[in-house]
Amino acid sequence: MSANIGKITGVNGNLLKVEFENPVIQNEVAYACVGTGDLKLKAEVIRIRGNSAELQVFEDTVGLKVGDPVEFTGELLSVELGPGLLSQVFDGLQNPLPRLAEECGFFLQRGKYLDPLPRDTKWAYTPKLNVGDTVVAGDTIGSIPEGLFDHCVMVPFNVRGKWTVESLKPAGEYTVEEVVAVLKDDKGNSRDCKIMQIWPVKMPIKCYAERLRPTESMASGMRTIDTFFPVAKGGTFCVPGPFGAGKTVLQQIMSRHAEVDIVIIAACGERAGEVVETLREFPELTDPRTGKSLMERTLIICNTSSMPVAAREASVYTGVTLAEYYRQMGLDVLLLADSTSRWAQALREMSGRLEEIPGEEAFPAYLESVIASFYERGGVVKLNNGETGSVTIGGTVSPAGGNFEEPVTQATLKVVGAFHGLSRARSDARRYPAIDPLDSWSKYPSVVDVDKVAKARKVLRDGSEVGQMMKVVGEEGTSIDDFVLYLKSEYIDATYLQQNAFNETDAANSVERQEYVFNRLLKLTETKMSFKEKGDARSFFQQLTQTCRDWNNSEFQSDEFKKIEEQMTKALAEVSDYAE
């Protein structure tokens, strides 16, 4: 069969117009040949009109001109799935960046594409089936020990119906391209099963028995999130906020302490400096769950703002496809996309070049559906073997000027289950994490009783109103009861909502500790207090706040923890006794 070759008829930035003779398909991969054809640039078909196709190129298009050939591959934009993914750093097209750097040096070359999975590595494979067994797509054929997990070798996700195992390779060491099983259907068709399989990134993996509702809370170790604005395993959440409000730090803390098996970070257009910081720090971080390197259960998709814009979209879909792959093994996966605003900007740029009718702020009119389709790929699923797996998706949004009314933030809020809005005012006041306790919300169950959380939020809300009033009438124009209410809300903020990420104990709190401390804190806010002067009240809460911060820095139920708690109880008793 002859190759399907087209010719470039127009070049507009990274958008190519190509005429073709043989049929092409939407999202098909093609290679644009520069000059003599020694340099081939990867592209994707994004629109077809008659015998003309429009392609987005994932590289700089310098050198391409009208008349240059384009080779259509007949394959969709896909990723390789198999052992060897964990602890790796890929770009948006799943090129392994460390190996790419070894071959290219300091500057990455255009048109250089490497196999994501090493072809020469041999893996210790153990079959889990017998000849004659009946299987369907997604069933486990065998397993390979890979770091902390048993990597499942599965029946290809694109097979349909029931198949019978005709032959199996015995336990041994094999490369990812070797056939380890042969299947046959009732019509006599055969299908080879390799350790590695290939899957299109824009097609969800749906080889499961049932999709379940997310109900189990995903403990992150962060009090503000777990108690007030929780995230469920298999749920979705977004973290919008202005530049410098702490989005990246928040994601890094969550990736380290969240109760999940695997963390995938998709840096889809984030600034290069922040990504470099992540790449340098993660291998040095100790995983609190295993005591080993955090990178052993982390996978990074790196497409920074200095890399090709068109590849931002690919990086988002690459990340979520890899997350679905590990979910199919019965694992809990956390996917963090940073920042989806820059992905949306890439969509806007391409939409403008396609001369589509623009929506609000020149974003494409289909922006909402694209964002929704991405977040909908998360969720909890029940597999064919009865086990469950989950993909939790969290995306940061970088609205210009911190304006949450802009299209990307609003489109995201319509589909996510939790909203962690970062505040510029809290960030400037160094109140980290800078999640606004009044604007944020969650639809998922908290680790603390819902009624108790509602009481604490009411104290925060009422205290904020008193604080706003004090800015107008001053402290002397405020009643002492209102002033005490304001101090109580500030106490909750300073001792529970704020956490010290640099303190080993306070950086992450267990669910048990959060419940205990929150109940203690709520009891204090419900205690009626009376002071002769406002200065007495201020002094009392300042001392109590400092004592409670020392409490947060002590090990749960240690002697120091109990000693500080006794001090707090005694101080509170003195105040309440005085009130009587």
| Binding-site residue ranges for ATP | 241-248
| Strands annotated E in 38-171 | 39-49, 52-57, 69-76, 78-81, 89-90, 123-127, 134-135, 140-146, 149-154, 163-168
CA distances (Å), 392 to each of 39, 200, 312, 416, 552, in order? 39, 20, 20, 11, 28
Alpha-carbon span 493 to 431, nearest angstrom: 8
Backbone region of residue 454 per phi and psi (left: phi > 0; alpha: psi in -120 to 50; beta: other values):
alpha
| Binding-site residue ranges | 241-248
In 3D space, the residue among 568, 204, 226, 119 whose CA is nearest the CA of residue 375 turns out to be: 204
Alpha-carbon span 86 to 145, nearest angstrom: 12
Alpha-helical runs (H) found in 19-115: 97-104
Backbone region of residue 239 per phi and psi (left: phi > 0; alpha: psi in -120 to 50; beta: other values):
beta
Task: Find out whether 266 and 94 touch, Cβ atoms under 8 Å.
Answer: no
Quickly count helices (H) and strands (E) in the chain.
Answer: 14, 26
Task: Find out whether 342 and 268 touch, Cβ atoms under 8 Å.
Answer: yes
Alpha-carbon span 337 to 236, nearest angstrom: 11
Task: Find out whether 80 and 116 touch, Cβ atoms under 8 Å.
Answer: yes
